[in-house]
A and B are shown apart, each in its own frame.
Chain A
Amino acid sequence: MLVRTDSLTKRYGGFTALDGCSLGVPTGESFGLLGPNGAGKTTLLRLLLGYIRPTSGSAVVAGCDAVADPLGVRRRTAYLPGEARLFRRMTGHGVLDFFAALRRDCRRAAAVAVADRLGLDCDRQVARMSTGMRQKLALAVVLATDAPLVILDEPTANLDPTARAEVLDLVREAKRAGRTVMFSSHVLSEVEAVCDRVVILRAGRLVHDERIDRIRRGHRITARLAAPFAGVPAALADRVRATATGGGRVVLEADDSLAGLLGWLATLPVEEMQVEPVGLAAVYDRFHRPAAAESRA
């Protein structure tokens, strides 16, 4: 595991920002972090990088403890903060020069290449750049390093659609190069597009952890039955669950391929039936918008 946290907790007085978070990110994985504002995503990332100290628990990145050796963690990490602010009086080129001098693994030529791909004019002074342009500049700094772990906190916020697509391509390239990516975002489609696995945080707690390919394979079956639903047969209980029943209606979610379920479904007294992929949005809604998940069903 490149990243491992064990019961990681951060409290501010009576407020718990992160509560007993235990997770592991294997080397080379593209890892998505989902949750609404205040769910604890940024707190988790900042704990990993040693910006803040945990109230309890531990975090280890590439063998370096985040509290005892934060410098070791940052040697192996490229981090884009949620709100990347740069030196307003410098030009874009000045910023690239500064960070190339600050960290040995930040290659200036690579940073200029990323900036070019994102369509950024580096001759402009940072103070005269739009929020999106500053975001591109920060991305150029972060994605030009050779760090084995890349942590991106809402990297596509404020970007135009072209630049968003470019950033997602850059993330895929980083993954292909064998780097581990932690990708925090509110845009579910982006997480679904670039991540291998996703965890969902709610009110500081890790409430769900699932592989994206498994989510993609999952199906939701919404059916109206002529007779009361008798429940999922024991033989299928580990693959299918009924998420809503009542009024002659049943909503089933299958974690895997439909093959093997069709025989059972054919035995049900179905009047109407709709089959659709589950998708990340439905999984997210299950934890953060249960009413929406219900109505979607």
Chain B
Amino acid sequence: MNRGDLIAPRVAFGKALAEAGNIYKDLVVFDADVCASTQTQYFKDAFPERFYQSGIAEANMVGMAAGMAASGATPFVSTFAVFLAKRAADQIRVSVAYPKANVKLNGAYGGLPTGKAGATHSSVEDIAVMRAMPHMQILVPADPVETRAAVMLALETPGPVYLRTVRCPVPVILPENHRMIFGQGLELHAGQDIALVSTGMMTPKTLAAAEILAKEGIKARVIHLGTLKPLDNQIIIKAARECGHIVTVENHSIIGGLGGAVAEVLTEHYPCRQTRIGFPDIFMESGDDEAIFSLLGMNTENIAQKVRTILKTKKEIK
């Protein structure tokens, strides 16, 4: 995978899982009839004897995975984020998170992009639900390279992990040898006029916005938080201290996701102005992904414009 390549993270996920199957002999995969969409098909083809089809029954799927984990397996449970994190929320809570079962969860089709499926399928609040669950560790990779790294990190780490993968193609921004570390954010672009803190597929857009702004003489720091739990508090506090204003950017509701998590850190450790870019407490609707992102002020130009407005207002106040 080379910088700039457009690859769907779901495909990177599927291939990484099949690759991991060779390394982890106890890795088994559960699917609720969406393997062709979430791309666990790759694992199914490579290791049919370790692939479990639950049918469209997410609650039972999560429970079976927890039972297998209790007897020594490392199950990766995969279905659409919207159903995994909410329809099976209680099963994840009681059978996975509470006993620290070694179950990995792939919340596929995270956020808006679902192929125009609309409100019922666009997962706007899965991270909020997973974040509030004790023992849960959360990975929201930026690009296809980091998606592969996230699969490997999830498997290396004992206990429950929620990994969010994305359907639409996303440009590669990280080097092939990139490794993810829990609780460690990444500074992707230097600057101290303002700090843009992003996660998941919004990171490439945010980085592109910072590059546009750089040409205008605006130095925006870009921080990518790929591990939302545990969170890299220090990198957020440092950004607040040095940049004075933080803009969070996420493919999720502004409630309870990255925006909420960063606000919690700032309020307790270093209060500073924050602007949240994300879904404004609404359900999504059918339509072209980019059209909806634009409508909600979430495309690259929107992000750049938001920064210009913030900095202009700041200047006027001064």
Q: Do A and B bind each other?
A: no
Chain B interface (Cβ within 8 Å of chain A)?
A: none
Chain A residues in the interface with B (C-beta under 8 A): none
